[in-house]
Amino acid sequence: MYDSISILKDLVKKNDKKIVLLVMDGLGGLPYKGKTALEVARTENLDRLASKNECGLIDPVFPGITPGSGPAHLALFGYDPVKYQIGRGILEALGVDVEVKKGDLTARGNFCIIEKGVVKDRRAGRIDTEVNKRIVKHLNKEISTIEGVEISFTSGKEHRFVVRLRGKDICDEVTDTDPQKVGEKILKSIPTSDKKSAERTADTINKLTDLIIEALRSIDEKPNAAVLRGISGYPDLPQFPEIYKVKAKSIADYPMYRGLTQLIGMDVDRTPTCVEEEFSVLKKSYKDYDYFYIHIKKVDSYGEDGNFDEKVKRIEETDRYIPEIMKLAPDVLAVTGDHSTPATYKSHSWHPVPLLIVSKWTRISGVSGFGESECAKGNLGRIPSLYLTSLLLAHAERLDKFGA
């Protein structure tokens, strides 16, 4: 696999061509009664485009690897998902819409139950989210700074929360406090480097653990402690608009995808709450940007739920917006997913993802429609997701020749 960013940065050039990347999260599927959700869905607009343009399949990492949303998206944006890894704490924070900036640390937390320091239940019986919210409110009141480091808690679902540390001289070179199993003591965080900031951070984390236990004593809730894992800093990622010389707009209605595209420097619109509003943001901002990322979440959600029929409906809903995109006449339109989420598998999977590229410079796949089986016959073949960005830039005539 080539380090595409280091090669592309010397080849990209600006022009006025526009690229739209439409990502249906978890698009790829598996057959149920012989056909996948995408194949069952009536998608006349995508089918027509597929028959007259290029189709293929993309692999987020490599065959057999089931990616999380972070690596799957990084690959779509041309970032090698093995080279560029985003810490779990940061991804969790982005998922619950925590504001993070350079220098911040974040960690995933579980409210748990301990007895004499030993973890008895890592999830405190999966407490209600409402209980979680009461606890977090209390903690934010009780614990605001530790020796100059600002502490801030945000609720997740059930027993999950995110803690953000903000201050000088802290870094993510420390270990977790979560022993990851019951019957063991909450771990002491220890520095994994000899940096002063690592020592200071481990010390802060350990004090934080004690302060949480103390604060929980004063309210009448089930959890009496918390364990932390995935302590991670704001990643230093190459910035998408700089490396690719595009003005990039991110349009998503879920926090994680907004956060992730913010990490790579896209201009994130935080207004849409549904697919319809996403497409109206596209129309409104169309003249001001060169590259648009539009994220459709629900296709994945219903895949995860094992709800085949609703996955079909969400794909059909998205298809109905295709004419609106085509009315804008982008120079390049790509429609794909970040990964597969077959409703029969009820989870992200490793299966390659259908891809459609529409541009005046495509060959013609001559397939009968947009679906897994047809894309497997498409002329793009099967390529790593990592190379999607170079393909889109090429179709937008935004790449110079490599070598003479």
Residues that bind a second copy (CB under 8 A): 1-2, 4, 7, 11, 30-31, 34, 36, 57, 61-71, 81-82, 85-86, 88, 91-92, 230, 342, 345, 348-352, 361-366, 372-373, 376-383, 387, 389-394, 399-404
d(CA 117, CA 183): 10
Closer to a second copy by CB, 65 or 190: give it. Answer: 65
Closer to a second copy by CB, 83 or 137: give it. Answer: 83
Closest CA to 375 of 75, 65, 34, 38: 38
Report the nearest approach of a second copy to the CB of residue 325 (Å): 21
Closer to a second copy by CB, 85 or 224: give it. Answer: 85
Burial of 316 (0-12, 13-18, 19+ CB in 10 A): middle
d(CA 25, CA 186): 36
Angle at 179 between CA 174 and CA 181, to 5 degrees: 155
Closer to a second copy by CB, 149 or 264: give it. Answer: 264
d(CA 34, CA 373): 11
Report the nearest approach of a second copy to the CB of residue 7 (Å): 6
d(CA 298, CA 274): 10
Report the nearest approach of a second copy to the CB of residue 136 (Å): 21
Burial of 65 (0-12, 13-18, 19+ CB in 10 A): middle
Closer to a second copy by CB, 183 or 403: give it. Answer: 403
Report the nearest approach of a second copy to the CB of residue 161 (Å): 16
Task: Name the amino acid, one letter, at 218.
Answer: S
Closest CA to 106 of 169, 170, 159: 170
374: tokens are 């047809």
Closer to a second copy by CB, 69 or 110: give it. Answer: 69
Report the nearest approach of a second copy to the CB of residue 218 (Å): 33
Report the nearest approach of a second copy to the CB of residue 321 (Å): 26
Report the nearest approach of a second copy to the CB of residue 200 (Å): 26
Closer to a second copy by CB, 254 or 279: give it. Answer: 254
d(CA 227, CA 178): 5
Cα distances from 66 to residues 28, 352, 353, 382, in angstroms, run 12, 10, 11, 16
DSSP string, 77-114: TT--TTTS---HHHHHHHHTT----TT-EEEEEEEEEE
Report the nearest approach of a second copy to the CB of residue 27 (Å): 13
255: tokens are 């926090």
Report the nearest approach of a second copy to the CB of residue 160 (Å): 13
Residue 374: strand, helix, or coil: helix
Closer to a second copy by CB, 1 or 118: give it. Answer: 1
d(CA 250, CA 266): 6
Closer to a second copy by CB, 2 or 271: give it. Answer: 2
